[in-house]
Structure 1
Amino acid sequence: MSGLPQTPVRDDVVGELVERHRPLLDRALEAVSTREYWAAYEEDRDAYGPDAEKEGEAAFQARLGKPFALGQPAVDGLVGPEPEQGGERSPFGSLLRISYPHVDPDRLFPAMRAAMRGWARTTPEERAAVCAEILARINRRSHEFAHAATHTSGQGSLMAFHAGAAHAQDRGLEAVAHVLAEQTRLPARVEWRKPTADGAEVLAKTFSPVPRGIGLVIGGRTVPTWSAYPGLFASLTAGNAVLVKPHPEAVLPLAMTVEVAREVLREAGFAPDLVCLAAEYPGEGVARDLATRPEVRIIDYTGKPDFGAWLRENCRQATVFTHTSAVNSLFVESTRDYRGLVGNVAFTLALYSGRLCTGPQNLFLPEAGIATDEGHKDFDRVIADIGAALDGLLSQGSESAELLGAIGDSETLECHRRAAAGEFGEVLHAAPGVSHPAHPAAELCTPVIVRGEAGADALFTEHPGPVYFAVPVPSAEQAFETMAETARRSGSLVAGVHTVRPDVREQAEEFARESGVNLSLDLTGPWLMTQASIFSDVHGTGANASGNAAVFHGSFVTSRFSVVGVRRRVDERDRP
């Protein structure tokens, strides 16, 4: 790499960061090895202080209606603030009216490559400590990040704080830990001695992790920080520069992330252009242009499968990691806790309007009904009881609105309208409409359950929003066969199974292993199949069409750097 001279690294600052964050990094390394429960960042909103929520809201409000200055090079215009200029519109009805810098990649990429020189020459521990400091500062502003998530992705406040702030930060640190473990697996230097008749041959050897180049992170809208942080922090910790291309309707959370990263890098004596933002004009399609640049060597993408396939086919100069749509399944064969099951399923269907990538779309039940602790329940009764539980959940005013969140995209609204109108099949249950008491302009969608048929094409297509297919099946074998075909054709991240039968449990586990789908068995109460415990659970396996981005997997980390060895002969007579 060549380019502008680098600012000397302030060893005093970096050394202090290493000491400050060593306990955290050691604990993270332990957690990714043992897979025990651990969370680095507090998910309790009250733990951040009595005034933290108000201060976070005030900080968010202070950003509205203003340019977002990052001090980036190669700026050639502004995106926004109006929607027709690329500005964001909150799913809750208001305009953010924020404008973001638009950059010229021909001038930006040389600056980013130049910024990598000093960064790549630091140790893995130093890079990990700087990244831990970035996450620490993001964490202190968690309430502000939660507001940004709410008003770009439509998440309720609790979901926004978890997925948009604390849990996203855990995901970032998990990636840092995996990179640190891989980059320190070989010793930095070693004296190699081979016995000979005359004594020994001695070589001094060094092993240096070398970054691949610029990483491009193409963000999604549903959970922008949660999905972007693994790739962003993995590439940065590995020594690469990172260009963040956010979803046009969810720029703010990732712009704030870039802002914090640049601030920390600058203070530590590194070039802040290691991390930059690429906002786009309406219809510009800048992701395609950026992704095919020869400087881009790593791509992390979250979004629709068709563009993920395009990236894999056309970006041969880069390693491409995709996290695309998933069609997940839930099979209820029998249960010892019928009321717990019904309540758990209803909450899962309502949560965030069914937009989580780990939520189920297809609900399989035996056509003859299920055995329960309350006696036999036929197919129609199970669906009716789930519907009644949904109606109860969604009759609680503001709490129901918070649970659902708001919908900001026309595709989801149209899919929900068609399902409710019976265009996808017989409507078995349509939950009553809910309005948001604090945001009357917000569009909220309540769950619609449609009768499906095993093998029908509709089951293998992702239907955005709270649209669900209840499918009667003649046997467990038929359910697992259809679930396996779904994973092959459409991709599945998770599956849920409820059963009291050991043989069905064994079939479920066999399906999961063969299809590369993470499995939840008999979860009731507060445990949802949508949840993933960071540092413990594996989110995605990389083994089916839902994508190959699996943070725990060695290739997710090692593809971001190589190792170069240097050896030289040591003459024993030269030793002091």
Structure 2
Amino acid sequence: MTPFFDRHRDLLQQAIAAAQSRQFWSPFSEIPSRSIYGESAPDDGEQAFMKLLGKKFVIDQPQSGSWIGNENALYGLPLDISYPASSPDALVGAAKAAARDWAATSIGERIGILTEALVRLNARSFEIGHAVKHTTGQAFAMAFQAGGPHAQDRGLEALVYAYQEMGNVPGPVTWHKPQGKRPPLVVEKAFHIRPKGIALVIGCNTFPTWNSYPGLFASLATGNTVIVKPHPKAILPLAITVEVLRSVLKEAGLDPNVVTLAVDTSENPATEAFVTHPAIGIIDFTGSATFGNRVEREALRGARTYTEKSGVNNILIDSTDDISGMASNLALSLSLYSGQMCTTPQNLFVPKDGIQTNEGHLDFGDVVNRITEAVSNLLADDQRAASILGAIVNDDVRQRVEDIQQQPGLALPARSVTIEGGPNCCFTPSCRIVEASEVEAYGQEQFGPIFYIVRTEDTDHALGCIDTLVRSRGSMTLGAYSTNPEVLDKVTRTAVDAGVSLSCNLTGPLMVNQATAFSDFHGSGANPAANASLTDNAFIAGRFNIVEVRHNAG
């Protein structure tokens, strides 16, 4: 056995304790500090990233001989990296060849190998941060955190859940059944963990590592081989991940094709061919509802699917004892990464007669003004705005921003912000006031820096609208502001019944957008926005089967 498990035993025990307690804990620092990562780490990471530009990213896996790649260059720096093209059949064949030995590897050894990979990925967080920044448009601070340590936390969380879930499978047992005067019936029973099959991880453009690591590491930990299929505009962060995993597998004396990389382009997509391949037994997907629904239909043929799709996130505003704190918190939640997060609030429901606050009663217009002014003030300085907004990830988002400028009820127009990479790379959020009856406007996800303030009859009317949206469209997050315990009880019941995570009265630095590994469950799996939660036992258990073998010993 390789020494990796023993090397990381203490780390794994701490992770298990954190997952059970749900208290704050992170082994990977989110602070891009020289004192933490090493004096030369920021420079070394940037140089390592720069050395990849304009080159072939070599992976010694089955390939067709051609090289492809057309990634984003959202800060004006062309990546021009090419990756080996591989057919679905070739990668499936390689995964099958590697599967038996990987499944036969002990649970402890698998967990040790994967933990070692996460530790090595953490050491490359600056390099990964630059890769995430340029392919997703996130500002570097966010790209470092979400693409590096926070993603690694989620990967480790999945590992320890898998370790515990497999640990619940009993060891061999000698079974005795009394038979009266006759000798007892004696049977030797063994319970074998059988991996589900080849897993496919489909990455997204906005959070290529954060959204992919849970499924990737959960499938590997439970003995499945994995094909990693990045979004064609954000390949590099997952290519580095695959490279590190394959390196550790080689050191452990295993076939590195336990993990392979499937690359395509937007012009010639290959995801469908992988999704429908009969050998694929598990699919992890993050992306649009249109394709996510297609992925979920693969469950009908027996593939286990774990999806996170588009949804509509909502905020209920009933009353507050800190109107300034509420407005500031919402401003940052609405602005962070230009609203290009699956957890960003989109619809703010406000009663038509206004709300009670610590500054007295504010009518509807006053509430609108306080929120829109907070957004404008937060982003008044272009340099600060750029560090919060990042870049627009694609032309579809840009088009939505342009379209809303011409629509009625515009309470906050977009302002273009010049950032590294050229003018008009991003826009401040736009706000439109709509009536509760205008569901066709606010009732579908408007991915990007766009939000609506929805005028309702009262709080109960707003709760009814929110309940309908969560159940029909799906939501990843729900926020509520109220000083009334009865209202908070109502919104809690609504959230639990509809299956959406709820955050109440956030007025400080914690935002409704944020979900922390080892404590917060990302998504519930209980509404149309996602059929899985990161990370609970259900996210793990379907990735393996238990096969019993019995021998008569009587």
Q: If the length of structure 2 is used for normalisation, what is the TM-score?
A: 0.96
User: 2:435 is paired with a residue of what secondary structure?
Assistant: coil
CA RMSD of aligned residues (A): 1.6
Is 1:237 aligned to residue 228 of structure 2? no
Question: What corresponds to 1:120 in structure 2?
Answer: 103
User: 1:450 is paired with a residue of what secondary structure?
Assistant: strand
Within the candidate set 337, 340, 355, 1:355 is matched to 340
In the aligned structure 2, how far is the partner of 1:228 from the partner of 1:314? 19
Question: What corresponds to 2:58 in structure 1?
Answer: 69
In the aligned structure 1, how far is the partner of 2:77 from the partner of 2:30? 27
Question: What corresponds to 1:415 in structure 2?
Answer: 400
User: 2:281 is paired with a residue of what secondary structure?
Assistant: strand
Question: Structure 1 residues 282, 375: CA separation in 2 closer, same or farther (over 3 Å shift)?
Answer: closer
Is 1:514 aligned to residue 497 of structure 2? yes
Is 1:458 aligned to residue 441 of structure 2? yes
In the aligned structure 1, how far is the partner of 2:176 from the partner of 2:445? 60
The offset of 1:184, in angstroms, is: 0.8
Within the candidate set 415, 419, 431, 1:432 is matched to 415
Kept after mapping to 1: 8 A contact 2:416/2:424: no
Within the candidate set 517, 542, 553, 2:536 is matched to 553
Question: What corresponds to 1:491 in structure 2?
Answer: 474
Question: What corresponds to 1:39 in structure 2?
Answer: 26
Deviations 1:249-305 (A, max 9, x none): 000101111111110111111100010011013422211111111110000111100
Is 1:222 aligned to residue 209 of structure 2? no
The offset of 1:376, in angstroms, is: 1.3
In the aligned structure 2, how far is the partner of 1:382 from the partner of 1:535? 36
Within the candidate set 30, 37, 53, 1:48 is matched to 37
Is 1:28 aligned to residue 15 of structure 2? yes
Question: What corresponds to 1:398 in structure 2?
Answer: 383
Q: Percent identity?
A: 40
Kept after mapping to 1: 8 A contact 2:196/2:281: yes
In the aligned structure 1, how far is the partner of 2:436 from the partner of 2:263? 43
Deviations 1:27-85 (A, max 9, x none): 222222222222121111112122211111111111000000011113331113xxxxx
Kept after mapping to 2: 8 A contact 1:328/1:358: yes
Deviations 1:478-523 (A, max 9, x none): 1111111111221101100000001110111011011101000001
Kept after mapping to 1: 8 A contact 2:344/2:513: yes
5+ residue gaps, structure 1:
1-10, 81-86, 572-576
In the aligned structure 1, how far is the partner of 2:459 from the partner of 2:312? 19
Within the candidate set 332, 335, 344, 2:320 is matched to 335
Question: What corresponds to 2:137 in structure 1?
Answer: 154
In the aligned structure 1, how far is the partner of 2:524 from the partner of 2:52? 38
Letter in 1 for 2:381: Q
The offset of 1:92, in angstroms, is: 1.4
Is 1:277 aligned to residue 264 of structure 2? no
Question: What corresponds to 2:83 in structure 1?
Answer: 100
Question: What corresponds to 2:308 in structure 1?
Answer: 323
- Which shifted more, 185-194 or 90-99? 185-194
In the aligned structure 2, how far is the partner of 1:192 from the partner of 1:41? 45
Q: If the length of structure 1 is used for normalisation, what is the TM-score?
A: 0.92
Question: What corresponds to 1:7 in structure 2?
Answer: none
Question: What corresponds to 1:143 in structure 2?
Answer: 126
Deviations 1:301-350 (A, max 9, x none): 11100111112224624111110012100111111111111111111111
Kept after mapping to 1: 8 A contact 2:390/2:426: yes
Within the candidate set 352, 362, 373, 1:367 is matched to 352
How many residues were matched structurally? Answer: 549
Question: What corresponds to 1:213 in structure 2?
Answer: 197
Is 1:261 aligned to residue 245 of structure 2? yes
In the aligned structure 2, how far is the partner of 1:42 from the partner of 1:174? 15
Kept after mapping to 2: 8 A contact 1:365/1:472: yes
Is 1:17 aligned to residue 4 of structure 2? yes
Question: What corresponds to 2:428 in structure 1?
Answer: 446
User: 1:103 is paired with a residue of what secondary structure?
Assistant: coil
5+ residue gaps, structure 2:
none
Kept after mapping to 2: 8 A contact 1:74/1:105: no
The offset of 1:405, in angstroms, is: 0.3
In the aligned structure 2, how far is the partner of 1:397 from the partner of 1:282? 32
Within the candidate set 383, 395, 398, 2:368 is matched to 383
Within the candidate set 121, 125, 149, 1:166 is matched to 149
Deviations 1:412-460 (A, max 9, x none): 00001111232xx311112533211x33256112100001121321121
In the aligned structure 1, how far is the partner of 2:223 from the partner of 2:403? 48
